[in-house]
């Protein structure tokens, strides 16, 4: 839903803030006051083109901001695909500026986007009648999507069954293509796979080996220093050095003297026992260290072998995924594909049989979709014809044509298009071929009224919906607009009092001149203000008590 629109320096609009509400928002005003400029500004914000007179005379930049409350899941997906996150309250703020040099900048929630991205996002925000790039109902490619939403709960299950079979068939066709393609390409592919398989097998990669080798490399790289420190430590502990007794010798002498002293003083026994334990521990450590030192050997060849092995591991990691785990997984895939291609003849026969079975299953699923669509199409067409008759198009015929495509697509094998005959004796033709503006207005309104629950777009805009409509038909159009407003947000520019009287929110657009400057103002109307404007629409500039009373009665009847 469009919540707020801020327009600055656009044509006659110097600056205007408009807060729209739910339901039917009516915009009225004198001819030339700038009503369509409000819609043109919104269209510009949503990616539309701006004419040469769009920028207000004398200004350097025009800007339009449109704030939406997000409702559509399709819109949510589009924003996420574009890397745009909604605000915390779920709103979407679109801003677009136009410089005097003709350059525009588009932003969605502060993120800069291209005009193309903006238009794609706008498709799920607003449907503007009168601007073909936003008319979803005039786009035949969207007709099947609209029809499908009327087909009931069972249709969803049928579509799920169809899509499952469709994707399975596509996968089988892909596999067959890889087997039955160019023979030379197939041989080249097998040569590459065989080389990769042999290279990985020769590498004999093992999980954890790299870490073990790095630890060994660290140890061997420092072996000379390690041997020196071990032997110096052993000399100090056990062998002695430079005519100096070892730590064990000195501890032994100290223990002997302390034990002799304990013969004279029993209190020294505890110290002697403790020193005996320490002596035994140091002696055991010295013996173990000596055995370890005897095993130490500086082996440059072993270090070179480790370096070569590590380089091979690094090479295979770079080529096949960046890690040993990835390289091993790549090897498994190579083996599988090589086996697949090596047994191609058997595989082709097997896959061809599976494809034929899947095609039969898909044909049944597609026919189920078609049957549901044909049945629903008749019901929807009847509802639209009834809605057209309500608006004085008594001879109108509406038909939903379902043809069979040459091949299956993601949504079935049906081509759906809405056709209409507006008058007796006319042939059915596409909606875009309707010639009369009044007929087009009523057809679009009838379609919107019936299809509203199938359309995810939250805001519909009708610019001059009353073209070619008057009298009793105008009242019928107003009632349809009122009904549509109960389902969606509607913005409608109108000259008809019968439609204006149905407003949930009413805005007056008028032109003012002051100090040699002309500006367009947008004013929300309530109560008597709305009555006065409806009366003006009924009787022109000469508003009387009679027209005021008629306006109040018209509003009261809504």
CB 30 within 8 A of CB 57: no
Whether the Cβ atoms of residue 528 and residue 54 lie closer than 8 Å to each other: no
Ordered alpha helix ranges (H), 3-142: 35-45, 73-81, 115-122
At 158, list the tokens. Answer: 């049928």
> Which pLDDT score, from 0 to 100, does residue 133 have?
37
Quote the mean pLDDT of the chain: 86
Sheet strands side by side (includes 412-421):
397-409, 412-421, 429-430
What average pLDDT does this structure show over 529-537? 93
CB neighbourhood size of 468 (10 A): 13
Cβ proximity of 457 and 122 under 8 Å: no
Question: How far apart, in Å, are the Cα atoms of 380 and each of 149, 331, 531?
Answer: 11, 57, 38
Using DSSP bridges, classify how beta strands 489-493 and 459-463 pair: parallel, antiparallel or unpaired.
parallel
Q: How confident is the model at residue 19 (pLDDT cuts 50, 70, 90)?
A: very high
Max CA distance (Å), the chain? 139
% of the chain surpassing 70 pLDDT: 92
Structural contact between residues 11 and 56, judged by C-beta atoms closer than 8 angstroms: yes
Give the residue, 239 or 544, on which the prediction is more confident: 544
Q: Where are the alpha helices (DSSP H) in 65-182?
A: 73-81, 115-122, 143-148, 153-180
Mean pLDDT (whole number) for 327-353? 86
CA atoms within 13 A on the CB side of 469: 28
- What would the two tokens of residue 183 be? 């023979």
Q: Residue 327: its pLDDT value, please? A: 94
Q: For the residues 200-222, what does the mean pLDDT come to?
A: 87
Give whole-number Cα distances, 307 to 124, 304, 534, in Å. Answer: 61, 5, 92
Token pair 């439609």 is found at 499
User: Does the model's pTM come out above 0.85?
Assistant: no
Give the span between the Cα atoms of 37 and 441, in whole angstroms: 20
CA–centroid distance for 479 within its chain = 38
Distance set, CA 522 to CA 29, 134, 488, 518, 551 (Å):
9, 24, 23, 14, 21
Task: Please report where in the chains the tokens 């404007």 appear, as a residue.
Answer: 533
Rounded CA-CA distance 360/353 in Å is 11
CA distance 445 to 452: 10
Q: At what angle do helices 300-319 and 183-203 cross, to 10 degrees?
A: 150
Q: Domain map of the chain by residue range?
A: 1-125+457-522
Give 71's pLDDT tier (boundaries 50, 70, 90). Answer: low
Q: How far apart (Å, rounded) are the C-alpha atoms in residues 309 and 291? A: 30
Q: What pLDDT score was predicted for residue 132?
A: 40
CA–CA distance, 416 with 400 (Å, rounded to integer): 7
**Long-range contacts of residues 434-437, Cβ cutoff 8 Å, at least 24 apart:** 436/468, 437/467, 437/468
Mean pLDDT: which of 131-145, 334-348, 473-487 is highest? 473-487
Predicted confidence (pLDDT) at residue 131 exceeds the cutoff of 60: no
pLDDT in tens, 158-206: 999 999 999 999 999 988 887 776 667 777 888 999 999 999 999 999 9
Question: What are the CA-CA distances from residue 34 to residues 29, 46, 127, 338, 520 (Å)?
Answer: 8, 19, 21, 71, 6
Q: What is the pLDDT of residue 24?
A: 95
Q: How far apart are CA 313 and CA 203, in angstroms?
A: 7
CB atoms within 10 A of CB 137: 19
Residue 450 has phi, psi (to 5 degrees) of -75, -40
Distance CA 163, CA 278 (A): 80
pLDDT at 463: 76
Q: How far is CA 387 from the centre of its chain?
A: 36
> Closest Cα to residue 37, out of 60, 56, 24, 23?
56
- Write out pLDDT tens, residues 474-524: 888 888 889 989 999 999 988 889 999 999 999 999 988 887 788 899 999
pLDDT above 90 covers a percentage of the chain that reads 39
For the CA atoms of 125, 128, 133, 137, the dihedral, rounded to the nearest 10 degrees, stands at 90
Residue of 227 and 430 predicted with greater confidence: 430
Q: Report the chain's C-alpha Rg in angstroms.
A: 42
**Residue from 209, 177, 460 nearest 323 by CA:** 209
Say which residue, 224 or 366, is predicted with more confidence: 366
- The structure tokens 């679109």 sit at 94
Q: What pLDDT does residue 4 have?
A: 95
Q: Which CATH architecture has domain 1-125+457-522?
A: 3-Layer(aba) Sandwich (3.40)
Q: Which one is predicted more confidently, 74 or 333?
A: 333
What is the tens place of the pLDDT at every residue in 309-319?
999 999 999 99
Residue 516 is encoded by which pair of tokens? 């040699």
- pLDDT at residue 326, as a whole number: 93
Average pLDDT of the segment spanning 263-292? 86
Range ranked top by mean pLDDT from 63-77, 287-301, 374-388: 374-388
Which parts of 181-299 fold into alpha helices (H)? 183-203, 209-221, 223-234, 247-262, 269-295
| The pLDDT value given to residue 458 | 83
- Distance in angstroms (rounded) separating the CA atoms of residues 349 and 436: 60
């Amino acid at each position: 839903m469009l919540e707020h629109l801020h327009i600055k320096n656009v044509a006659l609009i110097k600056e205007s803030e408009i807060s729209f509400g739910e339901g039917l928002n009516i915009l009225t005003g004198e001819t030339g006051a700038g009503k369509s400029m409000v819609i043109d500004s919104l269209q510009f914000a949503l990616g539309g083109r701006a004419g040469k007179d769009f920028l207000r005379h004398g200004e350097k930049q025009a800007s339009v901001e449109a704030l939406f409350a997000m409702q559509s899941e399709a819109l949510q997906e589009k924003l996420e695909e574009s890397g745009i996150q909604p605000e915390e309250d779920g709103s979407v703020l679109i801003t677009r500026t136009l410089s005097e040099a003709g350059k525009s900048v588009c932003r969605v929630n502060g993120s800069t986007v291209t005009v193309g991205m903006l238009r794609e996002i706008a498709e799920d925000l607003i449907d503007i009648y009168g601007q073909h790039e936003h008319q979803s109902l005039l786009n035949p490619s969207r007709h099947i999507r609209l029809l499908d939403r009327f087909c009931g709960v069972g249709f969803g299950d049928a579509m799920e069954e169809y899509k499952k079979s469709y994707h399975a068939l596509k996968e089988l066709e892909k596999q067959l293509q890889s087997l039955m393609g160019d023979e030379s390409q197939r041989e080249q592919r097998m040569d590459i796979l065989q080389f990769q398989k042999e290279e990985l097998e020769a590498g004999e990669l093992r999980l954890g080996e790299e870490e073990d080798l790095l630890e060994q490399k660290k140890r061997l790289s420092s072996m000379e220093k390690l041997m020196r420190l071990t032997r110096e430590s052993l000399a100090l502990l056990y062998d002695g050095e430079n005519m100096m007794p070892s730590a064990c010798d000195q501890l032994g002498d100290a223990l002997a003297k302390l034990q002799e002293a304990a013969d004279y003083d029993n209190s020294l026994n505890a110290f002697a026992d403790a020193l005996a334990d320490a002596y035994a521990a140091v002696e055991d450590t010295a013996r173990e260290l000596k055995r370890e030192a005897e095993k130490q050997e500086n082996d440059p060849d072993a270090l070179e072998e480790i370096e070569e092995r590590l380089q091979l591991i690094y090479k295979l990691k770079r080529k096949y995924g960046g890690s040993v785990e990835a390289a091993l997984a790549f090897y498994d895939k190579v083996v599988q594909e090589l086996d697949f291609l090596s047994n191609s003849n058997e595989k082709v026969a097997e896959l061809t049989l599976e494809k034929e079975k899947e095609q039969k299953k898909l044909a049944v699923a597609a026919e189920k979709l078609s049957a549901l669509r044909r049945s629903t199409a008749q019901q929807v067409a009847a509802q639209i014809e009834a809605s057209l008759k309500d608006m004085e198009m008594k001879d109108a015929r509406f038909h939903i044509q379902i043809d069979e495509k040459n091949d299956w697509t993601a949504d079935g094998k049906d081509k759906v298009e809405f056709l209409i005959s507006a008058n007796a004796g006319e042939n059915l033709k596409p909606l875009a071929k309707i010639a009369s503006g009044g007929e087009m207005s009523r057809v679009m309104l009838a379609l919107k009224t019936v299809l509203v629950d199938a359309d995810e777009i939250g805001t519909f805009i009708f610019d001059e919906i009353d073209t070619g409509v008057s009298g009793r038909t105008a009242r019928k159009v107003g009632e349809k607009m009122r009904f549509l407003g109960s389902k969606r947000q509607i913005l409608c520019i109108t000259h008809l009092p019968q439609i204006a009287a149905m407003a949930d929110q009413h805005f007056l657009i008028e032109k003012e001149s002051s100090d040699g400057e002309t500006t367009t103002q947008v004013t929300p109307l309530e109560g008597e203000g709305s009555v006065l404007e409806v009366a003006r629409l009924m009787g022109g500039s000469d508003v009387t008590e009679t027209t005021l009373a008629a306006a109040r009665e018209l509003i009261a009847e809504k």
